[in-house]
Amino acid sequence: MADRLAGKTALVTGATGSLGGAIARAFAAEGASVVASGRDAERGAALVAEIEAAGGRASFLVADLDGSAAASRDLAERATEKLGGRVDILVNNAGIFPGDKTAATEEETFDRVFAVNVKAPFFLTAAIAPAMAERGEGAIINLGSWVARLAVPVGALYASSKGALETLTRAWAAEFGPSGVRVNTISPGVMRPIADEPAPGEVMMVGTPAGVAGPASAVAAAAVYLASNEAEFVHATTLDVDGGRVGAAVIAGGGFG
């Protein structure tokens, strides 16, 4: 056990997924008391058991963040109570990813993606950030995506929802930063859901500096950094954990022309 987050409390949404689970485990390993939330109670219980077996402190709350303000407020209230009256760190990780092309996207799908990926974290942040600001400290971490800035010919809906979340990061940094609340985004690249197994879409990492999909632990390490005092001067930033996907192209043969 380390202590970079000792004495801190954290709420991680979408914690039954690979990235959310990795973040919850990493936070607990660094000394935080963690509330993990998600829709699958069985997987949530397994995550809590794993964290506790490693000496950490965690609990799980079932939550379907459907985009309604009521669902977000309910989770905020339950998590705050479970964590002894305060949430020091909020990770807005829960999200969905339909990958259809634009013409094949139904209105119902559009509404659901923006409800889960944008409305839910908006109202969860609205319910939690003011108390952070009143205390004069806190950290909010949003999970974006590399496709918000490097366009691909599928998934326009998902990409636009993650672009909206990056914009909210900057807006919330301006709104809550002066009161001591740091708001930042982590933008993962193509990640492996299971360690040492190929990831769907791994081919998209061809031509990048890393060349392969990344481990969930890399995103978790970035989240620990942004949640810790080490990032005390980091506001409104999008931290790319993407193997260089949006920043560099590796050209075979070593040159042009």
**pLDDT digit string (tens) for 100-115?**
999 999 999 999 999 9
Decide if 4 is inside a domain. no
Domains contained in the chain, number = 1
Region 79-91: what's the mean pLDDT?
A: 98
- pLDDT attached to residue 70: 98
Decide: residue 153, CB within 10 A, 0-12 exposed, 13-18 middle, 19+ buried: exposed
| pLDDT(257) > 60 | no
- pLDDT attached to residue 252: 59
Catalytic residue IDs: 158
| pLDDT(16) > 90 | yes
Percent of the chain surpassing pLDDT 90: 91
Decide if 248 is inside a domain. no
| pLDDT(98) > 90 | no
Mean model confidence pLDDT for the chain: 95
Whichever domain contains 108, its CATH number is 3.40.50.720
Cβ pair 191, 232 in contact under 8 A: no
- Residue 11: pLDDT band (50, 70, 90) is very high
Decide if 3 is inside a domain. no
**pLDDT digit string (tens) for 119-132?**
999 999 999 999 99
* 202 vs 182, more confident: 182
Decide if 237 is inside a domain. yes
* Side-chain half-sphere CA neighbours of 48 within 13 A: 17
| pLDDT(198) > 90 | no
Decide if 123 is inside a domain. yes
Decide if 250 is inside a domain. no
Q: How is residue 175 written in tokens? A: 């709104």
Domain that holds residue 63: 9-241
Decide if 202 is inside a domain. yes
- pLDDT attached to residue 255: 52
Q: What angle do CA 159, 133, 74 make, to 5 degrees?
A: 65
| pLDDT(60) > 60 | yes
| pLDDT(36) > 90 | yes
Q: Which of 27-31, 36-40, 149-153 has the lowest mean pLDDT?
A: 149-153
